């Protein structure tokens, strides 16, 4: 099946890395086939949703047999572009930025932070493994020569839009915004907003006000 042109629902697309990670684990443990019920139990997604998600990709499994693990693995590798590395840069090497640089998404072998930037001279030239912290005046040039596609933004909120305006003039495709600022970007750049403080606060609110049985979306 030609997977490049495939248009699938966003909710399905979001679950694909989850499936992929679990299928990788299965493969590594030597399992050869898996049922949608087993998948469902492991990834905590109901089996009807899994079957519907997989149905967008044609016949991945057989009735009564389940799914062939090796086939699923190679299929998801291809669809998630696991053989193609997406280069990521991080701007703002503060507490959160440092944590992300140290973490560096080693479980996802197709995304890698390759460079970092900071306005503070004392942070410039620091090294985190093979990642170097560069000064902000080399931002545009390094993003271009390194062919960076995604930027993780961990600068203070008041400067987030200023930095974004500079990024808007580069070739990057997406910003993972960890600042509380709401960013304005041109239509060729996608922004994904992750506010950990808000996530934690709403989680605590849900724990306090809703029982586990109530479905909250
Ligand atoms: P720290 O305690 O290390 O300063 P923090 O997360 O509390 O961490 P913030 O004030 O949130 O610090 O700043 C995050 C990082 O963003 C800092 O390393 C800071 O030097 C950097 N920074 C601030 N302004 C800019 C800017 N305009 N461009 C790039 N980086 C910036």
pLDDT in tens, 35-55: 888 889 988 999 889 888 888
Do 31 and 39 form a contact (C-beta atoms < 8 A)? no
The alpha carbon of 111 and the centre of ligand 1 are apart by a number of angstroms equal to 23
Only one residue has tokens 């000064």, namely 135
Q: Which of 90, 94, 153, 161 is the best mutation target for the ligand 1 pocket, counting ligand atoms within 8 Å of the beta carbon and taking the most?
A: 94
Please tell me the distance from the alpha carbon of residue 96 to that of residue 184, in angstroms, as a whole number. Answer: 22
Please tell me the distance from the alpha carbon of residue 76 to that of residue 80, in angstroms, as a whole number. Answer: 6
118 lines ligand 1 (CB under 6 A): yes
Domains and CATH numbers, the chain: 10-79 (1.10.10.10), 86-198 (3.40.50.720)
Q: How many Å separate Cα 9 from the centre of its chain?
A: 17
The alpha carbon of 123 and the centre of ligand 1 are apart by a number of angstroms equal to 10
Tens of pLDDT along 153-193?
999 999 999 999 999 999 999 999 999 999 999 999 999 99
The alpha carbon of 85 and the centre of ligand 1 are apart by a number of angstroms equal to 27
Tens of pLDDT along 100-136?
999 887 666 678 899 999 999 999 999 999 999 999 9
Say yes or no to pLDDT of 34 above 80.
yes
Three-state DSSP state, 191: strand
Structure ipTM: 0.94
Token readout for 22 is 């679990």
159 lines ligand 1 (CB under 6 A): yes
């Amino acid at each position: 099946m030609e997977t490049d042109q495939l248009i699938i629902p966003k909710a399905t697309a979001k679950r694909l890395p989850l499936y992929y990670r679990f299928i990788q684990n299965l493969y590594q443990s030597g399992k050869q086939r898996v049922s949608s019920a087993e998948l469902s139990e492991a990834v905590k997604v109901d089996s009807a949703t899994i079957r519907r998600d997989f149905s967008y990709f044609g016949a991945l499994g057989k009735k009564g047999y389940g799914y062939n693990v090796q086939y699923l693995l190679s299929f998801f590798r291809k669809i998630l572009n696991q053989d193609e590395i997406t280069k990521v840069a991080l701007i703002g090497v503060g507490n959160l930025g440092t944590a992300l640089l140290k973490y560096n998404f080693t479980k996802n072998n197709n995304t890698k932070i390759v460079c970092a930037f900071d306005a503070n001279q004392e942070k410039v030239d620091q090294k985190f493994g093979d990642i170097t912290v560069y000064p902000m005046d080399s931002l545009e040039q390094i993003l271009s020569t390194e062919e960076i596609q995604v930027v993780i933004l961990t600068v203070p909120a008041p400067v987030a839009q200023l930095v974004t305006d500079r990024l808007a003039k580069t070739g990057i495709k997406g910003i993972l915004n960890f600042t509380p600022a709401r960013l304005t970007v041109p239509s060729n750049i996608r922004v994904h907003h992750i506010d950990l403080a808000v996530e934690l606060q709403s989680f605590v609110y849900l724990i306090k006000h809703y029982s586990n049985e109530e479905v909250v979306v």
